[in-house]
Amino acid sequence: MAKTIAIVGNGTFSNGDASAIDSCDLVIRFNDCRSVGEGGVRTDIVAVCNTGRPAAVMIGSTTWRNNPAVKRAATIWCVRDISKFVELKPLLAIQHPSLDDFCDDYTEQFASCETNKRFAVIPRRYHELVDLELQAFTPVSYVVASSGLLAIAYVIGEISAPDDQVLLAGFSHQGWDGHPFDTERSLVENLIAQGQMRRL
């Protein structure tokens, strides 16, 4: 039976988005789930950045674990395959020395802190696929693709079935300047034009 899958970013929402998101069969949110509220409340999967400072903050306090959306979720995804970041670390040390903790790995902490949930790491091949698509679409310099784009690639490539509908909400394609947000927006619009997903 076909499912409706919502990938919900931490951006802005329109009237009616909350009810549309909550009526989906599968809802994916990110990190501290700031999208809850105007972006509905249903949360089946929380996709977390499992390296660097964001991961350290989430793991380092009880706030993340006690977040109602995190508690509701049945599954935790770590978006970064650490093997990719082990290779990235020497290059970052040269190009971005201020990011000395960017590749610090907290995957095991996420895997062990929520023992009642399913757990997965988005495979490295999706990092590499996204990198190839970004460079082919518009060559740009960036540190890494965003968690949102990695989750989109994983859902399209491995989670959704051919008859499923993938919805995107709360994606403003803005934020940390180490992500290539302008190119990511163009890539997402191309996926929409191909019929692989649509925006609410």
- Residues with Cβ < 8 Å from 97, sequence gap 6 or more? none
State residue 190's pLDDT score: 96
pLDDT digits (tens, 9 = 90+) for 31-60: 999 999 999 999 999 999 999 999 999 999
Cβ neighbors of 110 (< 8 A, separation 6 or more) are 48, 50, 55, 58, 59, 76, 78, 119
Tens of pLDDT, residues 105-147: 999 999 998 778 999 999 999 999 999 999 988 878 899 999 9
CA gap 97, 115 in Å, rounded: 35
Return the amino acid letter for 168.
L
For residue 193, report the phi and psi dihedrals to the nearest 5 degrees.
-60, -30
Over residues 68-83, mean pLDDT:
96
Q: Which pLDDT does position 34 carry in this prediction?
A: 96
Predicted pLDDT of residue 198: 97
pLDDT number for residue 137: 83
pLDDT of residue 1: 85
**pLDDT at residue 89, rounded to an integer:** 94
d(CA 129, CA 135): 10
pLDDT, position 113: 83
Whether 27 shows a pLDDT value over 90: the answer reads: yes
Provide the pairing of β-strand 45-48 with 26-30: parallel
pLDDT in tens, 181-192: 999 999 999 999
